Structure 1
């Protein structure tokens, strides 16, 4: 691996990115956790149940926003420039918020909510979905410091008004009215967080063969079909399961890697890799040069000599050194083998003015593919919990819910790997292998820790009455670890331009439901066996799809 100062600066920047993104996710999940905790002290049991149901509804309704963020991130990373995404962002927000609004009578009746609450939830949904666009730009351009700041801003917008309403003693309706008002401040703030962006003429286009028209068309098609989680994380830097469960699960799993850092720090995106000497040849599976090279520009090479030193001065303390190693390893692997075109990230007008054409336009099917992938991960990770509620006796169902908290934590604890790796997965190289290896190491640590301290974990999560569940704790964590690998693999498929990146996950969910309804497990252990099998199958099927596409592209 290159040990030049430029490469070391890139590794340092990406290491710091891991720290800051991890810290931001922890803070966002803590805000999600505070809502039900404070609600338990401010509301009656009936209103508390309504609060939990309403927050879960918002979490589900904003899932397409995660897909929007990932689709934008993939498109920006692929084109190396601006992506016209305003129209799909507005359409996605309109569909999500409009669906909640139109379902007001049904939701009010089914969830026993005041009639004014669903429209207020719709008003909270729209800005959260719209925020996916600027967050995607930041993620795709690898400005992870600002992405971390945007993640915290989104969490403040989603929960800040709700928390303030409860502190002020407002009713349930008044609380969500204030929440909707605060939520609409987020998109504008995030657009300002993007800051001044470099022009295309200030970025280097590495030497190498330019794409043929067929390759350029393929790049545009793949950009249109790309999506992802985090998750679903994906992806993106949002954590939905924490919202649906009050934030307890992810807070428990992520806190160990938390670090503090300046949210404004931004590592040089693709340009740092190019300046350090990365190859400029796009792989057959990415067609990454179509967006900028087609403009016919001859950009000048920029060397930001003091960037790494300036960022190092503001680096976070080394308490979360493990997260830094994770991100640094990803950076080194991707820089060593990736081929991409660094470029600017601008607004839609800049994309059109540069003549990027289709390669700089985000298509609706890309957002749909990303949203469906995020939804697939959410459904898969909650299917066993829903089945437990349906099939197990009440006592066993409650015990399974306690164990499922450990599963959620294991799913989302390693999500920083997926967030940081996504743009580099677009450019190919060794990021796939290294990312999977890092998630494997993290998962091994989590499962091993649960095996050694299962009783303690169960007592912390559920109290002494569920102490007997401690012997099953490693298996609950194993389910989450397998789904964490699935999340990464689904994002890899999105980065490669798959149109149905989570088809295997949907198939596994359907198969699991069918098997469980036939077998009808009656204990926590029996259902847990089914859950482990389903999670393992999701990794296997999605992994085969990833490697098959990679093998085909290599040929």
Structure 2
């Protein structure tokens, strides 16, 4: 225990954790408010389009996460911030233009009421990417109170814009225009506060951003593909049960979301990395264990509160979904740990496991268990790989030092 306490102090993560936890929880809570109001205010057809575009924004947010991580890593390790800032702006412009160009295809593929809704989603994703360098600078400097405030402001403007749009006109297009406006305003606020410089020395920051994006995209797809697969391979009722169960997985997954964000700068520092990873893994494992136990004890009550009487048969499966969310949360910490040191092997392994999961479900699934159990195995495999990779990296750097300590006569 004393050793762990020393690692936590060395990582420097104790103080700001509560503030960042409150900021990310507020941001996630506001997102649920928008979803609930949208479901009540919009009709089924409009809400379906609205939800599809929100899912598109979630996937598009991978670019912003990659830009933020690359910028934070540069700042935390003392490298110039200008190259990743320039790379982030380039990615933001290209991504927004590309999505706007394919908006007619999105309109057809997602059965949207208007191409304007797809363009608004493209602008929203661009706004996220433009804000990302500023958030990365604040994160890399470990100004976590300011980071929490910026995340809360971004969520408030996004949700406020969406609610205003829906209030003015109850359509998916109006809601997406409001969301896009909120993200653009949030980007202005972030740039005003952080003032990132885009001029300076050149470096292969674009390659680093794309590499980070490949890893994060794989993880985002892994944590969201199961619901789409369930919809594709299962009967309508079973896929509906799975979708309701995935709510519990998402709650367990997102509650400790602040942990990897808090620990990431320390993970880039060899002197603090071990303590940051240890603290992150233990904190998230404890959170997931407690929530899974509660899901097992109160599964029937939880189903009634979250989904209603129509989903009563979901009760026995709730602990499994909670365990899936707990494994995803652990994988989240380890993915960011590997992202901090640019580990490309994890990207390859993650995508391989993801493809294997999709193939297994598509070829064998006939029930809810046939989607959930392979998901648990895949998430567990990602966690095991992450822990083994982290232990191997620690042993490689630390063992020689210990060897010299025990054999002082060796030169």
Common topology (TM > 0.5): yes
| Other structure's SS at 1:414 match | coil
Instruction: State the 1:14 CA deviation.
Output: 4.3
In the other structure, the counterpart of 1:536 is 380
Q: Which residue of 2 aligns with 1:177?
A: 177
Compute the RMSD of aligned alpha carbons: 2.5
2-structure distance, mates of 1:181, 1:481: 34
Question: 1:115 maps to which residue?
Answer: 115
Which residue is equivalent to 1:364? 206
Of 329, 351, 358, the match for 1:513: 358
Cα deviation 1:181-209 (Å, max 9, x = unaligned)? 343222221122237xxxxxxxxxxxxxx
Structure 1 stretches of 5 or more lacking a match? Answer: 196-345
Task: Show the counterpart of 1:134.
Answer: 134
SS at match of 1:389: helix
Kindly provide the CA deviation profile for residues 13-43 of structure 1, in whole angstroms up to 9, marking residues without a partner as x: 8444222212112221222222232223333
| Residue aligned with 1:184, SS | helix
- Distance, in Å, in 1 between the alignment partners of 2:231 and 2:177 is 32
- 1:538 Cα deviation after fit: 1.2
1:502–1:460 distance in 2 versus 1, CA, 3 Å: farther
Distance 1:120 1:535 in 2: 34
Give the alignment partner of residue 481 of structure 1, picking from 323, 326, 338.
Answer: 326
CA contact (8 A) 2:328 2:379 kept: yes
**1:125 partnered with 2:125:** yes
SS where residue 115 of structure 2 aligns?
A: coil
How many angstroms apart in 2 are the aligned matches of 1:41 and 1:468?
A: 25
Pair 1:347 & 2:189 matched: no
Q: How does 1:9-408 map to 2 (within 5 A)?
A: 14-79=13-78, 82-113=81-112, 114-169=114-169, 171-194=171-194, 347-349=197-199, 352=200, 361=203, 363-408=205-250
TM-score, normalised on structure 1?
0.66
CA distance in 1, matches of 2:158, 2:66: 18
Q: CA 1:188 to 1:536, structure 2 compared with 1: closer, same or farther past 3 Å? A: same
Q: 1:110 to 1:443 in 2, by over 3 A?
A: same
Q: Hey, what's the Cα distance between the residues in 2 that align with 1:75 and 1:99?
A: 27
Residue by residue over 1:451-509, the C-alpha shift from the partner in whole angstroms, topping out at 9 and shown as x without a partner, is 11111222222112222222221111111111111111111111122235432221111
Residues 339-358 of structure 1 show CA distances to partners (whole Å, capped at 9, x for unaligned) of: xxxxxxx6345xx4xxxx56
- State the match for 2:257 in structure 1: 415
Counterpart of 1:504?
349
Cα separation, partners in 2 of 1:370 and 1:447, compared to 1, 3 Å: same
Distance 2:172 2:262 in 1: 38
Between Structure 1 and Structure 2, the one with more helix by share is 2
Contact 1:153–1:186 (8 Å) recurs in 2 = yes
> How many angstroms apart in 2 are the aligned matches of 1:471 and 1:119?
42
- Number of equivalences: 390
Match of 1:524 in 2: 368
Give structure 2 stretches of 5+ with no counterpart. Answer: 401-411
Query: 2:365–2:371: 8 Å Cα contact kept in structure 1?
Result: yes
Q: Give the aligned partner of residue 403 of structure 2.
A: none
Cα offset, 1:362, TM superposition: 6.5
Between the aligned partners of 1:512 and 1:436, the Cα distance in structure 2 is 24
Quote how far apart the aligned CAs of 1:115 are.
2.1
Distance 2:388 2:289 in 1: 22
Q: Is the 8 A contact 2:71 2:85 kept in 1?
A: no
> Which of 378, 383, 392 matches 1:548?
392
Aligned-pair distance for 1:64? Answer: 0.7
Distance (whole Å) between structure 1 residues aligned to residue 175 and residue 225 of structure 2: 31
Q: TM-score, normalised by structure 2?
A: 0.87
The whole-number CA distance in structure 1 between the counterparts of 2:108 and 2:277 is: 47
